[in-house]
Amino acid sequence: MSADPHAALAPSPWIVRFAPLVSPGARVLDLAAGRGRHALHFARRGARVVALDRDPAALVTFAGTSGVETRVADVERDPWPLAAERFDAIVVVRYLHRPLLAHLLAALADDGVLLYETFARGNEAYGKPSNPAFLLEPDELLVLARERLTVVAFEQGRMGGNRPAVIQRLAAVGRQRAWPPLLSAEGLE
């Protein structure tokens, strides 16, 4: 068995692909962090991560990790707890609560990075989530981002694999960021 209890919790390939947009030392919000797969990924890359989730039991599994500050908050029932804070990057995976979208944009630095990946309409054919409240409409992330951000990449549609799903994925940067990002053979720099 691995000494790292999170070794089996690999980060999303989409997030890994665009993680180089986030500079070492950046302040990153991992919203709905769960057991920390993305918080840990960014902390290993040198970011200072705020991992926010409503489940203290999930957060305790990686509390105390260097570079990660865990916070418990129910952002669906309580007021937005980060109103006075700004982040260089915000990461959201497999989570949607539309009333928070405006808060996320407000919390993102003018040259910040938004990495978002979650389920979209059509996923009900493959299982949960199937409630429309938890499924993005076609182009929803793209429309949201275009108001304030420059879209680096966007995908939507049926994704294969072990468990087919309908997904939307977005990588976008604030308009104050130097453009275009530098590409190398390994990806973004």
A 10 A CB-CB count for 64 gives 8
Least confident of 43-52, 58-67, 90-99: 58-67
Asked if the model's pLDDT at residue 186 lies above 80, the reply is no
**How many CA within 13 A on the CB side of residue 155?**
13
Asked if the model's pLDDT at residue 76 lies above 50, the reply is yes
Matching residue, tokens 């990495």? 115
Asked if the model's pLDDT at residue 173 lies above 80, the reply is yes
Is residue 100 within 8 Å of 75, Cβ to Cβ? yes
Check residue 160 and give its pLDDT.
77
Which DSSP category does 103 fall into? H
Residues of the chain with pLDDT > 90, as a percent, come to 71
For residue 183, name the pLDDT band (cuts at 50, 70, 90).
low
Asked if the model's pLDDT at residue 178 lies above 50, the reply is yes
Residue 144 neighbours by CB under 8 Å, 6+ apart = 101, 105
Asked if the model's pLDDT at residue 184 lies above 80, the reply is no
Rounded to 5°, angle at Cα 117 from 154 and 126? 105
Matching residue, tokens 């209890």? 5
Euclidean distance between CA atoms 83 and 8, whole angstroms: 33
User: What H or E segment, with its residue span, contains residue 38?
Assistant: helix 37-44
Matching residue, tokens 């040259």? 111
Check residue 188 and give its pLDDT.
54
Q: What is the pLDDT of residues 94-137, one digit of tens each?
A: 999 999 999 999 999 999 999 999 998 878 888 898 888 888 89
Category of 56 on φ-ψ map: left (φ > 0), alpha (ψ -120 to 50) or beta: alpha
Query: Quick one: which of 170, 10, 176, 175 has its CA closest to 91?
Result: 170
User: What H or E segment, with its residue span, contains residue 75?
Assistant: none
What domains can be seen in the chain, in order of their start residue?
A: 13-188 (3.40.50.150)
> Coil, strand, or helix at residue 133?
helix
User: What H or E segment, with its residue span, contains residue 40?
Assistant: helix 37-44
User: What H or E segment, with its residue span, contains residue 39?
Assistant: helix 37-44
Helix residue spans in 48-183 (DSSP H): 56-60, 101-107, 140-146
Check residue 177 and give its pLDDT.
85
Compute the average pLDDT of residues 84-91. 97
Check residue 181 and give its pLDDT.
65
Q: What is the pLDDT of residues 135-156, one digit of tens each?
A: 889 999 999 999 899 999 999 9
Residues of the chain with pLDDT > 70, as a percent, come to 90
